[in-house]
Amino acid sequence: MSSAWEIDRRTVMVGAGVLAAAATVTACGGKDGSSAGAQAPVDGPPGALARTADVPVGGGVIAGDTVITQPTAGTFVGLSSTCTHAGCRVGNVSDGTVNCPCHGSRFGLDGSVRGGPATEPLPSKPVRVEGDSIVAG
């Protein structure tokens, strides 16, 4: 059964997608070379989240529900992008921290808490390098 609610919900979802895309475009290219916001799907093997070249040393990128950081050259770390404070998705990686837009929590590139109100680190997520891509798993 179709209803006005279903149409409105679909409209809202499309609008949210447009806003997310706009946020991605405007948030990329931070002053320190870090990327911010969600990444577009990448070409590569199944499960590819990002290209290794897109993850700055000392920074990171957000690919959906995964934050990929590169604390030191050649070492890639996968973290959940869900903030441990109240469940918002973290918004960007800049100046060496993963930052939540909701209440200002900051996490280190290893997921450790650098600033509250969060008290728990971002959980690890398995990632591996496959060719020039970072792959989930």
Q: Does 83 bind ligand FES (CB under 6 A)?
A: yes
**Among 23, 27, 28, 88, interactor with ligand FES by CB under 6 A:** 88
CA-closest candidate to residue 127, choices 80, 87, 90, 88: 80
Q: Does 117 bind ligand FES (CB under 6 A)?
A: yes
**Among 13, 33, 47, 103, interactor with ligand FES by CB under 6 A:** 103
84 in Cβ contact with 112 (< 8 Å): no
CA-closest candidate to residue 84, choices 112, 109, 118: 118
Q: Does 112 bind ligand FES (CB under 6 A)?
A: no
**Among 80, 85, 96, 130, interactor with ligand FES by CB under 6 A:** 85
Nearer to ligand FES, 51 or 85 (CB): 85
In the three-class reduction of DSSP (H, G, I as helix; E, B as strand; rest coil), residue 43 is classed as coil
What lies within 8 Å, CB to CB, of 17 at 6+ separation is none
Contacts to ligand FES by CB under 6 A: 83, 85-88, 100, 102-105, 117-118
